[in-house]
Amino acid sequence: MQKATKLKRQNAKGKNKDEAGQSRADFISKTAIALKESRETFYWLRLLGATGVLPEVRLSEINKEIEELMRILGVIIVSAKAGKRQLSDV
């Protein structure tokens, strides 16, 4: 059990170290891709709702979540482009 925990910790440290080396432009690009994918998902969810595949009650909950996610990603992109380090307005 201890070996597995140690491996998990070392893996997390290595991943964090790897991610820390990415450029601001790369971070913005990846976040913009996530926003684009969120918008596409939102489109498909609206289509499923319009065709009656998903119940409106469930669709409403999902749409609220995805709209919130899109707003958060948008703020992250704007903040990163402005060179801000912390996102206190999210």
Each residue's pLDDT, cut to its tens digit, for the chain (90 residues) gives: 566 666 666 665 555 555 556 899 999 999 999 999 999 999 999 999 999 998 888 899 999 999 999 999 999 999 999 987 654 444
- Residue 62 identity: I
Residue 39 CA to residue 9 CA, distance in Å, equals 34
Pick the CATH number of 23-90 from 1.20.950.20, 3.90.1150.10, 1.20.1440.60, 1.10.1760.20: 1.20.1440.60
Full 3-state SS string of 51-67 = CCCCCHHHHHHHHHHHH
What's the predicted TM-score (pTM) here? 0.66
- Residues 37-74 as b or e (16 or more Cβ within 10 Å = b): ebeeebeebeeebeeeebeeeebeeebeeeeeebebbe
